[in-house]
Structure 1
Amino acid sequence: MNDVVKEIVLLFDKESPQPIKSNIRISVENDYNEDNQYKFMVGLDGVWTTLLDFGSENNCVWTPKENGKYLVMVQIKHKDSKKPFDEILKQDFIVGTVEEKLIKAVYIDKSQYSIGEKVDIEVETTKLPSMFRYWVDGRDGWQLIKDYSSENKIKYTCNEDGKHQLLIECKVPYSKNNFDDFRTIDFEVKKMDKLGIIDYKCLTNDLLTGEDLVFEVETDADDERTVLFKFIKIDSDGRSTCIQDFSSRKMVSFIEGKPGKYKLLCMAKDMYSDHQYDDRAIIVYEVIPYYPVKITNFTTDVCSPQAAESKINIKTIAEGGRNLLYKYRIDGPYAEDSGYLRDNTFLWNPKQAGDYKVTVFVKDESFDGRYEADASFDFMIQEKPKRTVNITNIALDKDDNYIINQPVNIMAEAEGSNDIRYSFIIYKNEKETERVRYSTTNWVNFTPETPGQYSLEIRVKDKYSDKDFDAHSYVYFDVKEYMPGKIEHILLPSKEHFLVGDTIDLECITLNSKETLIKYVTKVDEMVVEETDFIEDKKFSLRPKRSGKYKIEMYVKNIKCKNEFDTKKEIRIVISEAQKITGTKITCDNTRPRIDEEVNFTVSNDGGKDVCYEFYIMHNGNWSLVQNYSRKNYYTFRPFDLGDFRLLVLAKSYYKRCSYEDYDEFKFEVTDTNY
């Protein structure tokens, strides 16, 4: 038995070409499966004719009645197969006289493509001029790409994977044939690699209502692949809101107005994918109205004990909340209750000596309960002495922007004694790190070496005092590795209205400009139209191409910033197509023309952009359109009859979708005399 597998072939009993009305037997050879069924068809100029429908016969006789280049096709179907057919055989056959080939060559840039790539085809012919028609086969059969034209080059976008053929039909002008020559090109479209989301994270450290929430997603796609992202927010009640429809922007930001738990669904898809999405991921997050209220320090400017009727300044340092309220309660021989105040300090003037308990209650103004945090300390009041030592002033050479390795000079002033001593204690995260013992020096230089939360306690006392201190006070420092990028001011042109085509220059005024980078994101009606990288340029020019509500977001960061950005600012600008047209006026160089005497009308007005004009003339009660809308602001008229005439001009901006914005009329009389 011969084990060699022979290829199934399509055979003809006569060689191509053959004259019309020839009997040509078509047969399938080397098919040893007796259960197969065969369907014989021929195609000419895109029209298919069935010679023999599915049956067990593996041959048939074909008698062509027209000249042309035929495509003979046999479909083979296996027994019990549910497919339309399982195998297919094709072969060209020419009927009639064989003429010189019209297509000399067909050039294709490559044989394998990816979904979304463009196939470049160029056809070279032996005759000029020539006309070309292009077809491509796919899952739904042959589809016309472009009908006959003189274009010998075409770009076709691949949107189906698999093996394909591209058919080029060619003919000379005025040819009565559907085509004079044709050529097929084989190419293959590779399946799209599976797209996957590999990282989905929130870039905002603190999720607060009223603040920007920034999320970013990453995929395993390479840089040459265009991926679209859609973000949908789902609240705790299951209501969904589309934050961003499919866009190439992988970072999304928005502001949440209500606290609660949310989900943010991200759907990612390749731009050329025919699926609703290729992968999706969801992130769960919770938005709180403000940071939890916490009291970090509660103290007085003097130490216990103090004399009656001394002015004792009670100070609370708290964090969290949005708008904090403070209530001070003093329990003892002479009780006091301040009620809730916005001030974090309270001046206590004790009237009687005794033991007191001082308590502060802190809460955000939106909180419905009694308080969110409290603290207290005991304080003793003695009978009034003659004088006490107090700190009267603390001066710093800078108020903010504390950076590591940059010194800060602090100087204290006190009164109440002729011989006052000063001591300074440095704390980091509430732990003592350095102490300057008591001396007559009332200043100190503080140079932080690492970032963090620092506080400096200033203590003063009389030289002969037995207490740790007679008075003290705290200064707080938030020390950073670098000065965060921040925009202080945004300078814009001093105009009330901006129009399409205007150049709008804005300039960002920043501190530490040489180390500050800015990324500009331009949105029109909440759609991103332009996005820069982080750049050093503090000037940005916008030339709007259409009207709408523009928003320019500026993400600012220091060059040492390890996060996405330090701060963000935005401005909103409304761009109009043009100012409304007003003051339209017609002027004339001859108000009493005679018959067949030329008269010129000129139109002037204010406002508008690329203004167009349309002219009508009335005579004998009939209006006639004499010049359609155009940029010509003038009209020349040569009267043909005597009598009264009226000229009407309509004016509008080129971009306006309306009949007109303004108009003017001009009356004149045509006479047979100049007087």
Structure 2
Amino acid sequence: MKKLSCFILLIFFLLVGGSHTLANSNQMIIINKNTNQLAYYNQGKLEKTFKVATGRQNSYTPEGKFKIVNKIKNRPYYKQNIPGGHPSNPLGDRWLGINARGTYGTTYAIHGNNNPKSIGTYASAGCIRMYNDEIRWLFDRVAVNTPVIITTSKQSLHQIALANGYAFESKVNKLSVSKSSPQPTNASVSVSASVSSGSNTLYKFMVHDGKKWSTIRDFSSTNKVNWQPKSAGNYKLKVQVKNKNSKRKFEDERVLNYTVYQPAKANSLAVNKVSPQPSNTTINLTAQSNNNTNNQFKFSFFDGKKWVDIQKYSSNNKATWKPTKAGNYQVRVQVKNKHSKKSFDSERIINYTVFNEAKINTLSFNHATPQPINKDITITAQSNDNSNNRFRFLVFDGQKWVTIQDFSTKRTVSWKPAKAGAYQIKVQGKHRNSKKAFDHEKVMTYNVFHEATLSDISLNPVSPQPTDTNITITAQSNDNSNNHFKFLIFDGQKWVTIQDFSSKRSTSWKPLNAGDYQIKVQVKHKHSKKNFDHEQIISYTVYDPAKIVAFNMDRESPQFINNEIHFTVNSHDPSNHLYRFSIFDGSSWDVVQDYSPNNNYRWVPISEGTYTIKSEVKHKNSTHPFDDSEEIIFTIE
């Protein structure tokens, strides 16, 4: 009878106490026994995760895909006759029954507990325990027939949900285009979308032309579409996204604005004066396009080498051009819509010829005047139109004009003057179509000279000489009146200019230091562009006069006859000096040792008396009798 009563009570709770909320097709519960976590998914996203307790042994809590089949508040715990909702009831006060292992929500469930410390552990007989406040929150939201996935997995909750077909809600992250707005009509634009969340996302692309929305492509798994607008206008591009299993029209959408313009087209380019025209003529240019109001115009011309702007882009469809040089030109107008990112949308080009009479601009030489005789000189003419002009070259030698090259297309000629003189060089130019003898000419003067050469260098006095000697250096050349002279000295370390180029042919030099010098004379014609035309170098020796530093003897005066006395002379440069010794006996001088490198003398007096001993010294290059001398008075007893 007691068992029958329990059964009747269970049926009562199932039919009366249970909740029969219709299942939400986008709800799912996942329980991972590996981590003891419960995840609740709703409307395509994870709403909340909870800690749970599962079976004390792995087999206690069934694994598989189940459903919530009933919802019961305050279910009694029949084994111990504990009323529903009682604090000691191990089921808590909420029961979400699942149809596991052939049961129908009566054996296995997600429910509350009376032992909060067990949550997060393996503690139950097979059910899934939750904290009481958390099961109440879940109970109020989960619907009957909601899928329940119980597993033991190392995968994330998200991966488990995907593997079990949960339809995550798609959210648009970005709607982008391959070509930024604005773009011209017929431009191929790739429209692409990305989502920040969702799975199995479908994309729908639409465009609004200012009047209505049109579908570019209906929902598909491809997240991009090509769009090629045919008409100008301000458009709106839209993407809508949803999960492929979603029953909603869309889950999210994104819209961006996009401007499309009509590319400009140049219809005509007209001139007020037809080609050809002379240079410096003012020519008015006028362009017409498909939409002068929204288009901009740029005018330029091509001179055979490069394009030159006449008028940069502006709304003005007219420009003025005044060509200053002859040539076969191309005149161009380029047009583009004010929104265009291109350098131009369309262009129109016309040919235009401008001509000039010949004019000689320059007459130049590869070697500037003046130059020496027999120099190969290239004469070059430049004109206003070298390709269409003809040139003639003439030379006037002071008596007559001589043609060295008649009219031809050649702008250069070679000339090698054999005589010195002041010449006139003339070039005449004319256009190839000119009927004149010539259109224009230019004349220049050109001087030709003989290069300077040295014939002699004389020195007074001649080498060698002592320091502080005034030396005059004199040069002779082939044309003293037109040549300039430069004098330099090399002291063994560097060249020093003692007189720069001038018309003076002589200079004075007073060397202060001894040494072996080199004297250089450079000469050049007064018109010469060279550093010098010719040079000669001669050697010159300068020495320091010898000077006695000390005159010594090894015995002091007086001395006895037949005693040897040793005299020594010291000078500042003994290796280059010569020494002489003389003795005066009271009546005459007697040279006892003539000039030699020997700086000492040994004297053995044989007669008594008062003597004068003299030492003389001179440089080995000296032409003087002596450079310095010193005497000693000596008494012999």
Q: Greater CA radius of gyration, 1 or 2? A: 2
Higher RCO (CA < 8 A, seq sep 6+): 2
TM over 0.5: no
Greater fraction strand: 1
TM-score range, shorter chain: under 0.3
